[in-house]
Amino acid sequence: MGESKFPERQLPKKNMTLSNIKKNYQLYIIILLPLIWLVVFRYYPMYGAQIAFKKYSSSKGIWGSTWVGLKNFNRFFSSYQFSRVLTNTLVISFYQLLAGFPIPIILALSLNSTLKNRYKKLVQFTTYMPHFISTVVLVGLVLQFLSPRVGVMNMIFGVLGWEKMDFMAKPELFKSIYVWTGVWQNAGWGTIIYMATLAGIDPQLHEAAIIDGASRFQRIRFIDIPGIIPTAVILLIINTGRVMNIGFEKVFLMQNDLNISSSEIISTYVYKVGLASSMADFSYATAIGLFRAMINLLLIILVNQIAKKLSKTSLW
């Protein structure tokens, strides 16, 4: 039979969209909750960011408060706390990034090349579990472990004849304690994405390499590592964009009067001047928070451009 002389009638794009929504409404319902969360907790709070440029008064409201321009930002930049909290934030963040970023990659490559499945599952389980420990419990364990009286470390020091040490009272040790306890907690969890990427590498590449006489190390070097580089670059860009957002809870719980010079970061400083202080200054705290967000934005744009030029992989 010949083709019909009359072309099929196409529905307008609007009707096609409505028809698609009706057909797949379950999927749209599933995605609706995350979208609501995103709007309520991420986009709507941006409305209040304008108080960073005002002298906010709760009685006058956001629109009724006096406009002061960049006064709150200038106050922070000229504060004696500025250099300290900014330095501590950046040092801890980049220390955490340098120490914590490569370890999940190394762990994933090691697990992927392990031949004994029982051993592999045991290592995965023991490295994943710390991720599910709450921050409060984790800090409690750290404080007990490093306690000058009953801590395991000081018990070992006593057996070796060394002088006992109050670890949490030494500002120079705070950053290392914070970073390496975080690495222990999250290294296993961070391997999940890399393990999934390695599982997606074509097995025929390994089979061909084995036939050509490649060792296990050579297969890791020339097949596995190039296979996970795009994923690693994307995660590096995302992690760099969160450099200024150090976990407030953990730092605040580990903080004390003796290590405050090394542990005071932007997040804890914002909490103290914006909420904990008897003279809570919401405008000043918002200005500091907005400054932190702008630094994160600039960093993620910069790293994304560098990654695009060097590895041809980027977020946009």
Confidence of residue 12 (pLDDT cuts 50, 70, 90): low
Tokens linked to 58: 């709760």
pLDDT for 310 beyond 70: yes
- List Cα–Cα distances, 109 to 49, 217, 224, in angstroms: 43, 10, 7
Rounded Cα–Cα distance for residues 145 and 122 (Å)? 24
Dump pLDDT digits (tens) for 86-98.
Answer: 999 999 999 999 9
What does the pLDDT read at residue 9?
Answer: 53
Q: Confidence band (pLDDT; 50, 70, 90) for 30?
A: confident
Closest among 127, 172, 315 to 239, alpha carbons compared: 315
Q: What is the pLDDT of residues 132-156, one digit of tens each?
A: 999 999 999 999 999 988 889 889 9
Dump pLDDT digits (tens) for 232-278. Answer: 999 988 888 888 888 789 999 999 999 999 999 999 999 988 877 76
Q: Is the pLDDT score of 63 beyond 70?
A: yes
* CB neighbours of residue 45 within 10 Å: 11
> What's the pLDDT at 86?
92
CA distance 240 to 258: 30
Q: How confident is the model at residue 11 (pLDDT cuts 50, 70, 90)?
A: low
Looking at residues 284-303, what average pLDDT do you find?
89
The encoded tokens of residue 238 equal 């995302």
Fold topology of 70-311: MetI-like fold (1.10.3720)
Instruction: Single out the residue of 260, 211, 224, 241 nearest to residue 97, CA to CA.
Output: 241
pLDDT band at 15 (very low <50, low <70, confident <90, very high): low
Average pLDDT over residues 293-310: 86
The tens digit of pLDDT for each residue in 185-219 reads 999 999 999 999 998 998 899 889 999 888 888 99
Is pLDDT at 158 greater than 60 in this prediction? yes
For the chain, domain boundaries:
70-311
